[in-house]
């Protein structure tokens, strides 16, 4: 009666043993669930110097206390591990239905360690967890795997999270796909499953998920439902999906184009969410308990699928110099089916395009080459030809070819779809992100571009240190709760705290919630420091520090690292080198 399923499954693949334990009360109280559970468990069980693709790495699937409770947009689960892409303690968040079904199967978390001698899948059902032979599914794409497991398990209600060929081949761009189209996308999570010979997790069951105070929860649900329904950004997401941002970001002069060479794409309208709605959109779609339905079911020629969301739309579009929306959609479908991170795959291709343009790469690929781009996605998924080199991301590719400056990455993970030169606070959030190049660990686009919860001047650094810290901490706690990050356009920390209090029975205020997020953030930071990351890594690619934007209102601007970075360290309670102080760690209960 606290929103939790109440159990965790610990799977030792080397021994072929599954141990089921109660979900610890102190873990709930200090880390909530989701990303919090994963960060604590991985930090406790993995030496930061461990090879991410070795049996010694651990990967955690964890839902939050609000996942599956019927709270609007309460559908999320988190995959946490040491990232093969960049060795950070990373997490990848996904929606759909799998997180809810994992809890209905009886589990708040599944902790996987070791390595199986042969391909397997995990079957979660009504409080039991089994390791089953998965040999017959090895080699399948994600859609094939999902269909085959549903057929073989003879359960139409089973939900599947699986890897495709990219994960099997241990591509550092490999992700985990659930319900064929939802991705736990960044850092190489799929490669970790592939290294352990785990093809999939299949979850089914109908165990109850009961809140502590159902009457109180229903009242808070109605309050947050009303806020979400009345919020203008949420309405735009329903009408045009996340790709509604294409025109907005382009008009602000910060839509990265041709591998971040410019911040404006003249053909942006052709790939916009508005154009998608008029051309290839079949219907909107939402995750479990979603009242926004920002997902896009689309049809491109004779191919159907979901997406593209804003990020792959930009990455295969403006960043690759391509304005063919159906081709972008087909590239996105392929990423989902192969089990590839659709951001990292496209940005790696964009890096190769600029290398070709500058004469650094023979037999490469030029900007705007749609057909070669589509083929290259397949080659990346199967590690073939040029795709074999790009399968580990742009950083390793650019270093190998002698031009690391052309990898638009932070801590070896490629940047997403916003140019920090024209958004100073966002630049700080990206530079300091504990999982590398990233936007969802502190979405400063919300106040600096979209004006939520208030409009900030994107060109100034003043006050951005505190804003970034707050957004990073709040996001960590939202990821731990099981809620969709998009709710933060409409909701505040007090809303999440009230939802958690009613669901779990724990006393929870907005400051309590933010401290949980801060604890998670600092735990990930400590791990990364032990890996070897330093202050020198809290930065952006040289291009964004030295080459001014050329178009629109932010013309002439670069990202200004100082004094932003030092001020941020001070606000965080870290020393001048970006290390949490003993006082801060004691305050958070981390020492």
Domains delineated in the chain = 7-204 (3.60.9.10), 241-407 (1.10.569.10), 420-587 (1.10.599.10)
What string of H, E and C letters represents the secondary structure of 462-513? Answer: CCHHHHHHHHHHHHHHHHHHCCCHHHHHCCCHHHHHHHHHHHHCCCCCHHHH
The answer on pLDDT for 226 being more than 90 is: yes
Of 72, 18, 63, 25, whose CA–CA distance to 207 is shortest? 63
Of 449, 402, 444, whose CA–CA distance to 263 is shortest? 449
Cβ distance 558 to 548 under 8 Å?
yes
Predicted local distance difference test score (pLDDT) of residue 591: 84
Instruction: Report the C-alpha gap between 94 and 77 in whole angstroms.
Output: 6
Cβ distance 83 to 162 under 8 Å?
no
Instruction: Report the C-alpha gap between 470 and 266 in whole angstroms.
Output: 35
Instruction: Report the C-alpha gap between 13 and 10 in whole angstroms.
Output: 10
Predicted local distance difference test score (pLDDT) of residue 428: 98
Angle (CA) 569-574-580 rounded to 5° is: 135
The answer on pLDDT for 1 being more than 90 is: no
Phi, psi of 268 (to 5 degrees): -55, -40
Predicted local distance difference test score (pLDDT) of residue 73: 95
Maximum CA pair distance of the chain?
66
pLDDT tens digit string along 467-486?
999 999 999 999 999 999 99
Give the 3-state secondary structure of residue 400. Answer: helix
Q: Which helix (H) or strand (E) is 81 found in, with range?
A: strand 77-82
pTM of the predicted model as reported, rounded to 2 decimal places: 0.97
Instruction: Report the C-alpha gap between 2 and 21 in whole angstroms.
Output: 17
Percent of the residues in the chain that have a pLDDT greater than 70, as a whole number: 100
Q: What average pLDDT does this structure show over 297-315?
A: 96
The answer on pLDDT for 156 being more than 90 is: no
pLDDT tens digit string along 540-576?
999 999 999 999 999 999 999 999 999 999 999 999 9
Cα dist from 481 to 113, 143, 184, 485, whole Å: 24, 29, 16, 10
pLDDT tens digit string along 2-36?
999 999 999 999 999 999 999 999 999 999 999 99
Q: Identify which has the larger pLDDT, 460 or 156.
A: 460
Instruction: Report the C-alpha gap between 182 and 164 in whole angstroms.
Output: 13
Q: Which region holds residue 68: left if phi is over 0, alpha if psi is between -120 and 50, else beta?
A: left
Instruction: Report the C-alpha gap between 98 and 220 in whole angstroms.
Output: 25
pLDDT tens digit string along 242-274?
999 999 999 999 999 999 999 999 999 999 999
Structure token digits, residue 260: 């971040």
> Where are the extended beta strands (E) located within 280-428?
281-285, 295-300, 303-306, 409-410, 413-414
Cα dist from 304 to 160, 184, 279, whole Å: 20, 21, 13
pLDDT band at 363 (very low <50, low <70, confident <90, very high): confident
Q: How many C-beta atoms lie closer than 10 Å to residue 577's C-beta?
A: 11
Of 97, 122, 138, whose CA–CA distance to 17 is shortest? 122
Predicted local distance difference test score (pLDDT) of residue 215: 95
Predicted local distance difference test score (pLDDT) of residue 10: 98
* Per-chain mean pLDDT for the chain: 97
Predicted local distance difference test score (pLDDT) of residue 139: 98
Number of H helices, E strands in the chain: 24, 17
Instruction: Report the C-alpha gap between 412 and 172 in whole angstroms.
Output: 11
Cα dist from 275 to 120, 247, 281, 371, 466, whole Å: 43, 10, 9, 21, 37
Instruction: Report the C-alpha gap between 297 and 305 in whole angstroms.
Output: 6
Phi, psi of 110 (to 5 degrees): -125, 120
Predicted local distance difference test score (pLDDT) of residue 506: 96
């Amino acid at each position: 009666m606290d929103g939790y399923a109440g159990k965790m499954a610990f799977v030792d693949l080397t021994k072929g043993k599954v141990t089921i334990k109660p979900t610890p009360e102190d873990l709930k109280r200090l880390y909530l669930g989701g990303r919090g559970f994963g960060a604590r468990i991985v930090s406790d069980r993995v030496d930061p110097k461990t090879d991410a693709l070795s049996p010694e790495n651990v990967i955690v699937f964890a839902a939050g206390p609000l996942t599956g409770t019927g709270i609007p947009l309460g559908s999320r689960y988190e995959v946490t591990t040491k990232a093969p892409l960049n060795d950070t303690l990373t997490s990848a968040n996904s929606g759909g239905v799998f997180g809810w079904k994992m809890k209905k199967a009886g589990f708040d978390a599944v902790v996987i360690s070791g390595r199986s001698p042969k391909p397997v899948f995990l079957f979660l059902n009504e409080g039991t967890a089994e390791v089953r032979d998965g040999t017959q599914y090895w080699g399948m794409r994600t859609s094939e795997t999902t269909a085959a497991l549903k057929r073989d398990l003879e359960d139409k209600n089973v939900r599947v999270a699986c890897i495709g060929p990219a994960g099997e081949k241990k591509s550092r761009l490999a992700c985990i796909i659930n319900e064929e189209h939802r991705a736990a996308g960044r850092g190489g999570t799929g490669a970790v499953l592939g290294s352990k010979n785990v093809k999939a997790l299949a979850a089914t069951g109908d165990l109850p998920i009961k809140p502590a105070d159902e009457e109180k929860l229903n009242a808070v649900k109605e309050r947050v439902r009303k806020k979400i329904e009345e919020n203008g950004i949420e309405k735009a997401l329903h009408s045009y999906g996340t790709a509604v941002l294409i025109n907005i970001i382009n008009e602000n002069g910060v839509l990265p184009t041709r591998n971040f060479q410019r911040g404006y794409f003249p053909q942006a309208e052709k790939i916009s969410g508005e154009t998608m709605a008029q051309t290839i959109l079949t219907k909107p779609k939402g995750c479990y308990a979603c009242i926004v339905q920002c997902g896009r079911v689309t049809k491109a020629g004779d191919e159907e699928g979901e997406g593209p969301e804003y990020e792959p739309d930009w990455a295969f579009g403006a960043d690759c110099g391509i304005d063919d929306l159906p081709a972008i959609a087909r590239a996105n479908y392929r990423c989902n089916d192969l089990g590839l991170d659709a951001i990292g795959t496209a940005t790696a291709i964009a890096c190769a395009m600029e290398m070709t343009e500058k004469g650094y790469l023979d037999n490469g690929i030029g900007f705007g080459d749609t057909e070669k781009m589509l083929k290259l996605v397949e080659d990346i998924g199967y590690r073939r030809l040029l795709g074999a080199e790009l399968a580990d991301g742009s950083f390793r590719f650019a270093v190998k070819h002698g031009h690391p400056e052309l990898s638009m990455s932070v801590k070896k993970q490629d940047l997403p779809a916003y140019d920090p030169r024209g958004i100073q606070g966002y630049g700080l959030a990206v530079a300091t992100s504990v999982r590398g190049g990233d936007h969802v660990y502190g979405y400063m686009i919300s106040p600096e571009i979209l004006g939520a919860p208030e409009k900030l001047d994107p060109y100034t650094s003043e006050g951005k240190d505190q804003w970034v810290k707050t957004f990073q901490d709040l996001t960590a706690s939202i990821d731990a709760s099981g809620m969709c990050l998009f709710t933060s356009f409409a909701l505040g920390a007090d809303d999440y705290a009230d939802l958690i209090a009613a669901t779990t029975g724990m006393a929870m205020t907005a400051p309590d919630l933010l401290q949980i997020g801060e604890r998670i953030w600092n735990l990930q930071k400590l791990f990364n420091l032990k890996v070897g990351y330093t202050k020198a890594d809290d930065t952006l690619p040289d291009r964004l520090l030295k080459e001014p934007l050329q178009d629109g209102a932010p013309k002439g601007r670069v990202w200004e690292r100082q004094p932003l970075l030092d001020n941020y360290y001070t606000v965080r309670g870290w020393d001048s080198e970006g290390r949490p102080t003993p006082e801060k760690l004691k305050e958070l209960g981390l020492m």
